[in-house]
Chain A
Amino acid sequence: MASEISKKKLEHDRLAKQNLLKVTESLYDQFKEGIIPNIVMPSRTKKNIEYNDESDVWVYGGRESERSSKTVKGAFQLLKTTHTIDFLLSNHLSQNRGSTLRELYYISENWDVAKFKEQPESDRLIEDLEIITNLQREYFHMRPEEDGATMFGPIRIHEETKRGDRIIHCQEDIGESGYQIPFNVENINFVDHDANFIIAIETGGMYARLIENGFDEKYNAILVHLKGQPARSTRRLIKRMNEELGIPVAVFTDGDPWSYRIYASIAYGAIKSAHLSEFMATPAAKFIGVQPTDIVEYELSTDKLTDKDISALRSELSDPRFETDYWNEQINLQLEIQKKAEQQAFAGKGLDFVTDIYLPDRLSDIGII
């Protein structure tokens, strides 16, 4: 199994080198031909994502944006791109090393005028390269800063770590906080499981509540803590469990526009990384709540929507991912009542309310139990 993974790794490196070199060559040739150097790529906006019938996820459409050295901004972007590619080729791929996104930002300190002004800029550039080369950043040996998301439930996995292979049962072999999901989940294989469904949970408080109430044991559920907007590895692991093991997925978040986006990024794919949708999105994932109708029905304690919340909701109304009757109704209801609620607001009904009543009701509503 180990050699299989390393064989895969060699193939990945070869692909990465080849595709990165292609970008460099094309820029070089443009100089030779007297063409103003430029790179054309899909534009990464809400307007340019479309539904893919085959994979059931949202991917980039045909709109393109151009990075051209006609403008100062574009020229600097391309200069930074050439530096980054050179760094990835000569330091990462040919020396079999890697660095984090944050490290890349610091490494650029030595690049004179090509250095990044802030980390989001280098993060975006790596995403651009993913899109241009059609490869994920792991191929370039780029790691995210932290993973940190955890899961808890009746599943036994095999993880290949740098210190050797481990077999871990995610209820029995771990502490109270759960199994830590590594940043590269391709190193995980599933051994066996006893799970009926997966619940992906936005907040740590609710995740701990479900563990404390023994929800995982009672319903044979795998609990995944999303820690806000979920990391790629978390989304990828959910997708793998869903596809490879056929376990249904439900998403449980706060009841505000930002949480709906968390659900959308799991189920449909994220706008900023729609190039990875087919790799990471779980189209079968169902939304539990908190729904605006729950706020009304259960009379949950609420906060008033802020101006930012309202404009986020409005923007979701024009987001193709939310163009369904269900979301239209929920979002319009929320705009009408001008309220939002956290998932922990259920505590107002008693500590067991969420596990004894709300979740079983909602899970049977959406056909999971």
Chain B
Amino acid sequence: MSTLIAEELAKNQKAISVAEFFEKNRQILGFDSGPRSLITTIKEAVDNSLDSCEDAQILPNILVHVQRISKDHVIVTIEDNGPGIVKEQIPKVFAKLLYGSRFHSLKQSRGQQGIGISAAVLYSQLTSGQPTKIISKIGAHSPAHYYELMINTRTNEPEIFKDEEIDWDRNQGTRIELEMEASYVKGRRQSVYEYLKSTAVVTPHARITLIEPDGNEIVFERATDKLPKQAQEILPHPHGIELGTLMRMLRYTERKKLGAFLRYSFSKIGLFTAEEICKASGLDFDIDPHDIDRNQAKKILEAFKKVKIMSPPTDCLSPIGEELIYKGLQKEFDVDFIATATRSPSVYSGNPFVIEVGIAYGGRLQKDDRVDISRFANRVPLLYQQGACVTTRAIESIRWKQYGLNQPGGGLPIGPVILLVHVASTNVPFTSESKDAIAEIPAIQNETELALKEIARKLNRFLKRQGTLKKRREKEIIITKVLPKMAEKLANTLEKPVPDISPVVAKIMGNVHIDSSADKHETGEINVRIKINNHGSKSFEFDIHQLLPYEIKRASPEPKVVSVGDQYDYIWPVKINPGNSKALTYTLELIDENDENKLGNIIVEGMEQELVTGAKCVKGV
């Protein structure tokens, strides 16, 4: 009975084309809502443009144009100045799913699976019934090819509606035009504008122009003419390879000996390491790799773990660099402070990766909101599922209070801050196919935290400096704007002379206050008293000079005397601790009344003027 049912069922069982599968499951690829479909389309096209420009060492000029043709339909055009695509490849690149050059290569690039742009073409034909229009030209002397394409969803092969040579006034490049059900939204994080702005931050060598449906044109100008260093392709690293992958590699290798297979199929395995691995796995160095069975493959895998193998090479990665992230943030945000950091490369399960971070503080950023996070994977902005991302987890696990930001109830800190995190890897571990969030890999989280702490320390130093400056400014207001007026008003009310406010000023500023007073005796002698108060928080050493045309008597303590022309320079070296006061006294005998005015000013040598009230300061004589 059961076999009968099985046979019955078998009649309906058939292979499903990839294209058919995605037709029914389009949310997997990021086409689940109007606004999102538009962002995903633009994102896939811009990723391709940037990748191809960088491969060809061209400074990218990219145009994104969105036109609204009805309430929920748009035409979106993306054009680049890249190397173009050769005629034969055009239909397959745009109208065949899972066709691409990058899926099998191990180097850092934006796109990986070759699904992206053809999925947008598929979405376009599903919602508008229109073919996608493509123009591509590979050089000034080559013709421009114009195609109208759809995907045959049963066979996953391109269907060509038009194939012509046309005139195109560009030297080279590719232009794609898609009509689709989608909507253009503004004013939130998940929007075309924000996506392009974020892209501009991490791609400072590109010029990106956006024309919005209302005709408004926005240019994200490039900040550098330096192209990023090209990422190199590498062989897989033995760490983190899976059994199935290893078995496939063994079966299809051209090598006839295990030792050679190991040396030339993996990175960082040389002759010596290959011998070590063979020894550790108990397999002969010269055995034919095609004869190795599942159990032996398992042993090789175990040997990979036992034998010491160098970390994978990192020239397959192309970090943006601290300087360019700085420039990117600087050109797109008007802020008071920026710090950036690029960690050295690290490895998770055999995949090399680099963490880069940036922080922008102040300016017109919102003060009372949670910080903004800009996440990137291989230079591609991640707009969705922030909460599920390892980078968010890393930010939340830092105690920001230590670095001067509030973090009420844990979670994301609060402040006028943009935090940028870039994860660059040959294989970014996304949580799902729509590539929105990076999985919680401990090595990645740890590196991200270390990088964030590095820039957080810089932020903290900046904030502390700001704090001291602010306090200083506030004190300036008190002593310049408030106290003089208060003293004047009080004197006015009481009909008394305006009191000297300098002792109070010195106290408020934490300065050294110097005050001299003179008592005239009946005998004609004058007793002078110089009082020094240190209101500061550390001790100071300086010299007090008093320039006088007379000799002084009964000085206490006794000063050094230097005669300068017809005057005497009396010098008292002073050392005074915080909170202490000292007095210098001496007596003068005046010859005549008018000379009283000649009592010289006190001069302080060896102090900054802003730390002294009541006397002039001079730099070392």
Query: Smallest CB–CB gap between A140 and chain B, Å?
Result: 14
CB interface residues, A 34-92, toward B, < 8 Å: 34-37, 69-72, 75-76, 78-79, 82-83, 85-86, 89-90
> Cβ of A218 < 8 Å from any Cβ of B?
no
B503 touches A34 (CB 8 A): yes
Give the docked Cα–Cα distance between A35 and B505 (Å): 10
B493 pairs with A70, CB closer than 8 A? no
| CB pair B494 A35 closer than 8 Å | no
Contact A72 B478 (CB under 8 A): yes
Interface-forming stretch among B46-54, B457-465, B479-487?
A: B479-487
Interface residues of B in 531-590 (CB under 8 A from A): 533
Among candidates A21, A34, A37, A72, residue contacting B486 with C-beta atoms closer than 8 Å: A37
Q: Does B164 contact A (CB under 8 A)?
A: no
A24-B494 CB under 8 A given contacts A72-B477, A79-B489: yes
A114's nearest neighbour on chain B, judged by CB, is: B485
140-184 of chain A: CB within 8 A of chain B: none
Q: Which of B486, B489, B494, B508 contacts A70 (CB 8 A)?
A: B508
Closest to B485 in A: A79
Q: Number of A-B pairs whose CB atoms are under 8 Å? A: 77
- Bound together, the chains give a CA A24 to CA B496 distance in angstroms of 11
B608 interface residue per 8 A CB criterion: no
CB contact under 8 A between A86 and B482, given known A34-B507, A36-B507, A72-B477: no
CB < 8 Å: which of A35, A79, A114 contacts B504? A35
Q: Is the CB of A75 within 8 A of B482?
A: yes
- Decide: B504 and A28 in contact? CB cutoff 8 A: no
Given A36-B507, A83-B489, A31-B500 contact (CB < 8 Å): yes
**What is the 8 Å Cβ interface bit string for chain B, positions 439-477, against chain A (1 contact, 0 not)?**
000000000000000000000000000000000001001
Chain B contacts for A31, CB-based, 8 A: 487, 490, 499-501, 504
The answer to whether B493 and A113 have CB atoms under 8 Å apart is no
B495 to chain A, nearest CB (A): 11
Q: Does B69 contact A (CB under 8 A)?
A: no
Chain B residues contacting A25 (CB-CB under 8 Å) are 494
B492 adjacent to chain A (CB < 8 Å): yes
Check A69 against B478 for contact (C-beta < 8 Å).
yes
B56 in the interface, Cβ–Cβ < 8 Å? Answer: no
* B481 to chain A: closest residue by CB: A113
CA distance A31 to B481 in the complex (A): 16
Contact between chains at A72 and B474 (CB < 8 Å): yes
Indicate which residue in B474, B477, B481, B491 contacts A28 across the interface (CB closer than 8 Å): B491
Q: Is A308 an interface residue (CB 8 A)?
A: no
- CB contacts (< 8 Å) of B487 on chain A: these are 31
Complex CA gap A71/B474 in Å reads 8
Residue in B490, B494, B507, B513 with the greatest tally of chain A CB atoms within 10 Å:
B490
Q: Is the beta-carbon distance between A27 and B486 smaller than 8 angstroms?
A: yes
B496 to chain A, nearest CB (A): 7
Is A113 within 8 A of B486, CB to CB? no
Cβ A37 vs Cβ B489 within 8 A: no
Specify the chain B residue showing the minimal Cβ separation from A72.
B474
Q: Contact: A75 with B483, CB < 8 Å? A: yes
Given A31-B500, A75-B483, the answer on whether A86 and B493 have CB atoms closer than 8 Å is yes
Chain B residues in 8 Å Cβ range of A21? 493-494
B482 lies within 8 A of A113 (CB):
yes
Which of B486, B494, B503 is the one whose CB lies under 8 Å from A69? B486
- The interface residues of chain B lying within 8 Å CB-to-CB of A90 are 493
Residues of A with C-beta under 8 A to B489: 79, 82-83, 86, 114
- The CA of A83 and the CA of B489, in the complex, are separated in Å by 7
Chain B's interface size range is 20 to 34
CB distance from A125 to the nearest CB of B (A): 14
Pick the contact of B478: A75, A83, A86, A114 (CB < 8 A).
Answer: A75
In the complex, A28 Cα to B504 Cα: how many Å?
A: 12
A189-232 interface code vs B (CB 8 A; 1 in, 0 out): 00000000000000000000000000000000000000000000
Chain B residues contacting A83 (CB-CB under 8 Å) are 489
Cβ-defined contact, B501 with A36, below 8 A: no
Chain A residues with CB below 8 A from B499, complex form:
28, 31-32
Complex Cα gap A76–B477 (Å): 10
Q: Are A79 and B486 in contact (CB under 8 A)?
A: yes
Given contacts A25-B494, A82-B490, contact A69 B474 (CB under 8 A): no
Contacting pair B493 A82 (CB below 8 A) = yes
List chain B residues, Cβ under 8 A from A89: 493
Whether the pair A28, B490 counts as a contact (CB closer than 8 A) is yes
Give the Cβ gap from A275 to chain B, nearest Cβ, in Å.
24
- Per-position binary interface string of chain A over residues 88-108, scored 1 when its CB falls under 8 Å from any chain B CB and 0 otherwise: 011000000000000000000
Please state if A36 and B508 are interface contacts (CB–CB under 8 Å): yes
CB distance from B273 to the nearest CB of A (A): 68
- Residues of the B chain whose Cβ atoms lie less than 8 Å from the Cβ of A24: 490, 493-494
* Partner pick for A76 among B482, B493, B507, CB 8 A cutoff: B482
Q: Are B486 and A86 in contact (CB under 8 A)?
A: no
Chain B minimum-CB-distance residue to A27: B490
CB distance from A76 to the nearest CB of B (A): 6
Report the bound CA distance from A274 to B533 in whole Å.
42
Distance (Å) between the CB of A36 and the closest chain B CB?
A: 5
Task: Write out the residue numbers on chain B whose beta carbons fall within 8 Å of the beta carbon of A34.
Answer: 503-504, 507, 513, 533
CB-CB under 8 A from B490, the residues of chain A are 24, 27-28, 31, 82
Closest chain-B Cβ to A110's Cβ sits at a distance in Å of: 13
* Complex CA distance for A83 and B482, rounded to whole angstroms: 12
Q: How far is the CA of A166 from the CA of B63 in the complex (A)?
A: 88
Q: How near does chain B come to A117, taking the closest CB pair, in angstroms?
A: 15
- B4: shortest Cβ distance to chain A, in Å? 67
Contacting residues, chain A, for B491 (C-beta < 8 A): 28
By a CB distance below 8 angstroms, the chain A residues around B492 are 86
CA distance A246 to B486 in the complex (A): 49
C-alpha spacing A122/B504, complex, angstroms: 26
Contact between chains at A85 and B493 (CB < 8 Å):
yes
Q: State in angstroms the CA–CA spacing of A37 and B533 once bound together.
A: 18
Interchain nearest-CB distance for A93 vs B (Å): 12
Interface centre among A25, A34, A71 (most CB of B within 10 A): A34
Residues of chain B within 8 A (CB-CB) of A85 are 493
Residue of B474, B477, B504 near A37 (CB, 8 A) is B504
**Distance of A76 Cα from B478 Cα, bound (Å):** 8
Q: Provide the residues of chain A in CB contact with B482, threshold 8 Å.
A: 69, 72, 75-76, 78-79, 113
Q: How far is the CA of A114 from the CA of B513 in the complex (A)?
A: 28
Chain B residue contacts of A112, Cβ below 8 A? 485
Write the nearest CB–CB distance from B479 to chain A, whole angstroms: 9
Most chain B beta-carbon contacts within 10 A, residue among A21, A79, A86, A113: A79
Residues of A near B503 (CB, < 8 A) are 34
For the complex, give the distance between the alpha carbons of A86 and B478 in Å.
Answer: 20
A113 adjacent to B485 (CB under 8 Å): yes
Answer whether A28 and B494 are a contact pair too, CB < 8 Å, given A79-B489, A113-B485. Answer: yes
Question: Smallest CB-CB separation from B498: which chain A residue?
Answer: A31
Residues of A within 8 A of B493 (CB): 21, 24, 82, 85-86, 89-90
A20's nearest neighbour on chain B, judged by CB, is B493
How far is B502's CA from A34's CA once the two chains are assembled, in angstroms?
8
Given contacts A31-B499, A31-B500, A36-B507, contact A82 B486 (CB under 8 A): yes
- 5 closest residue pairs by CB, A with B: A34-B503, A31-B499, A75-B482, A82-B489, A28-B490
A-side residues, CB < 8 A to B, are 21, 24-25, 27-28, 30-32, 34-37, 69-72, 75-76, 78-79, 82-83, 85-86, 89-90, 112-114
Query: Given A76-B482, A85-B493, 4 more contacts at CB 8 Å?
Result: A28-B491, A31-B487, A34-B513, A75-B483
Sample 6 A-B pairs with CB under 8 A, ordered by A number. A36-B504, A69-B482, A75-B477, A75-B483, A82-B490, A82-B493
